[in-house]
Amino acid sequence: MIIEVVSFTVAHAEGFDALNDRYQEDVAYQSAGLARRTVARDDDGRWVDIRLWSDDSPREMTGDDEVRRAWDDAVVIESRGIYRGL
């Protein structure tokens, strides 16, 4: 299992929750090898996107290009880490 942790802030907060829901269904869960994804935020407006991938997956978000581009435009990535599960 590969664990990908993406920290970000939201550049366009209005409507982000609905956009993230669409991203979850139309992009994330259409991506080969993605087993699970969860998103959380803290009180300061920082977010984390935790993605669990199978070991041999390409770790690329695919699916609906329009939704993927909208999500990419709405967030400002602060960091990305890749970890191997034990």
Taking residues 18-39, report their average pLDDT: 96
Residue 77: the pLDDT is 96
- All domains of the chain in start order, with CATH: 2-84 (3.30.70.100)
Question: Global pTM?
Answer: 0.90
> Where residue 20 falls among pLDDT bands split at 50, 70, 90?
very high
36-55 confidence digits (pLDDT tens): 999 999 999 999 999 999 98
- For 41-72, the DSSP string reads E-TTSEEEEEEEE-TTS-----S-HHHHHHHH
